[in-house]
Amino acid sequence: MTKAHELFKHGQSIWYDNIRRSFIESGDLASMIEQGIRGVTSNPAIFEKAIGQSDDYDVQLQELVSQEKTIDEIYDALVIQDIQAAADVLRPLYDESNGGDGYISLEVSPTLARDTEGTIADARRYFAAVGRPNVMIKIPATPEGIPAIKQAISEGININVTLMFSLADYDAVAGAYIEGLQALVANGGDPGKVASVASFFVSRVDGKVDAALEAVGNTELQGKIGIANARLAYERFEETFSGDTWDALAEKGATVQRPLWASTGVKNPIYPDTLYVDALIGAHTVNTVPPATLDALMKEATTDSATVGNALEDAHAQVAKLKDLGIDLDKITADLQDEGVDKFAVAFESLMNSIKDKRERLLEGSENAS
């Protein structure tokens, strides 16, 4: 039994935050599932590395170029094939868990983060194109993304909400999920056939807050606010998914929108590699980990008990202390979301440029050959 299996005993699923075609085709994904990995997430930065910095996709890319596909069409074909292949490997896990796990995530275009209608259209298009029940479409928790999340859920589209940093983000996202389910039920849909996770980012919060704490000469709270913030989000989760409103949906088969801990790789080398694993273990949660964090988790994670509900009074006090120090956590988390949108857009642009460059080289090669 691995550490990932032990975490699942506490109700937490470990997902892998990485994808690449060779990882799927080599059998590595199937092997990781045997070791306790229960899902996969992707984002534009991950695909930028996979497609732009490897030759895994060159054969298919050459075929697509010969078919005179556009850059956008090439991107869709490459990415959708990977998502479908990963979904197929994960499908037995999805089936045996009755839709609890076994998901692969695909993000809408980062260029649509401020476009509600465009996001809805992209979510519909990708969900239909992948054609697998165990795909989640990723939508950012921007103000424009919130109504898109509600609409997608109301249409039975599985959603992984990304770029959540604040309790205000959490409240808006959980509300959109519940309202989307209510609309789905009102239209005769089955809420038991749609799933969602709410991806709450952790280490990036510490990155910003630690710098602000250093500026005011406080070291006591460094490395603690990311975890405190996540624990308060989990507290909100437990409050939100209880009571009459939720019970009415649960009776019809709806499942909770699980908190997913994202950005759990340690950015500060002085912190333990499993800092954001050990402190956030709990029922109905997911932790999606990049490769280095997964290696550390399997070797070093402390999996004796659930921890995400621990020291809530301390978490409230730590966040309150920031205000006393003149540090505006709300502004920090809002800035982090804006930066996240920009970073994904830059990675996406870099990926599209890589595809463009490869396409042009292949076209030149075919012209020279003729």
**Complete domains list, the chain, with CATH:** 3-362 (3.20.20.70)
Band of residue 364 on the pLDDT scale cut at 50, 70, 90: confident
Instruction: Kindly report, residue by residue over 58-108, the tens digit of the pLDDT.
Output: 899 999 999 999 999 999 999 999 999 999 999 999 999 999 999 999 999
CA 281, 333, 325, 222 torsion: positive or negative? positive
pTM of the predicted structure, to 2 decimals: 0.96
pLDDT at 52: 82
Average pLDDT for the chain: 96
Instruction: Kindly report, residue by residue over 5-32, the tens digit of the pLDDT.
Output: 999 999 999 999 999 999 999 999 999 9
φ, ψ dihedrals at 258, nearest 5°:
-70, 140
Instruction: Kindly report, residue by residue over 212-227, the tens digit of the pLDDT.
Output: 999 999 999 999 999 9
pLDDT at 368: 57
Looking at the DSSP bridge assignments, the partners of residue 288 are 15
Asked if 69 is an active-site residue, the reply is no
Band of residue 369 on the pLDDT scale cut at 50, 70, 90: low
pLDDT at 26: 97
Q: Which two tokens stand for residue 278?
A: 């050990």
pLDDT at 367: 55
CB 71 within 8 A of CB 302: no
pLDDT at 229: 98
Report the amino acid identity of residue 286.
V
Q: Which two tokens stand for residue 266?
A: 């340690």
pLDDT at 55: 86
What is the helix (H) or strand (E) element at residue 352, kind and residue range?
Answer: helix 329-369
DSSP result, 291-304 = HHHHHHHHHH---S
The number of residues in the chain equals: 370
CB 288 within 8 A of CB 15: yes
Per-residue pLDDT averaged across 308-330, rounded?
Answer: 97
Instruction: Kindly report, residue by residue over 144-155, the tens digit of the pLDDT.
Output: 999 999 999 999
Which is more confident, 242 or 54? 242
CB 86 within 8 A of CB 19: yes
d(CA 119, CA 163): 15
Nearest residue to 230 (alpha-carbon basis) of 315, 318, 304, 290: 315
Neighbours of 311 (CB within 10 A): 15
Most confident of 61-70, 126-135, 342-351: 126-135
Cα separations in angstroms, 5 against 171, 188, 301: 30, 37, 12
- Of 3, 138, 208, 358, catalytic: 138
